[in-house]
Amino acid sequence: MNFVGAIISLIITAVSLIIVSKLPTGVEIDNFQKALVSAAVFGILNFIANLVLYNPLSKIIVIPLQFVSFGLFNFIVNVFIFGLAAFLVKGFRLRWGIMSVFIGSLALSVVNSIIHHIVPV
């Protein structure tokens, strides 16, 4: 992905976070600037998780976990990253605790997928 694509993806994730915060998910974001920071933190954490989980040595453990969990392992990693991003960014709150993490992560995945389908990067 080139630099422009990364910036567009960052903006799409920030817009997705704003949309998710307007839905009844228990996710609260103060403003668009906090959404941009949250999207950047989310992207950095995803990058680190991909480096750790999908290197050749880790694939020995991760691929069987994905198979056994029918792909839910990726969702659990995404939920963890979503919660960690909310913990790290001031102005990004989860009103209902762990329930907001699960609902918000799922909603972010759906909204982000729809927007990325409309605006290809």
Q: Write the pLDDT tens digit of every residue in 38-73.
A: 999 999 999 999 898 888 888 888 888 888 888 888
For residue 83, what pLDDT is reported? 95
For the chain, the first-to-last Cα distance in angstroms comes to 8
Q: At what angle do helices 72-88 and 98-118 cross, to 10 degrees?
A: 100
Output the pLDDT for position 42.
95
Mean pLDDT in residue range 112-116: 92
The parent domain of residue 22 ranges over 3-118
- Threshold 0.85, pTM exceeds: yes
The structural domain count of the chain equals: 1
Residue 12's pLDDT band (boundaries 50, 70, 90)?
Answer: very high
H or E stretch covering 92 = strand 92-94
Check residue 64 and give its pLDDT: 87
Of 56 and 85, the one with more pLDDT: 85
**63 vs 19, which has greater pLDDT?**
19
> CB 30: neighbour CB atoms within 10 A?
14
Longest dimension (CA), the chain: 41
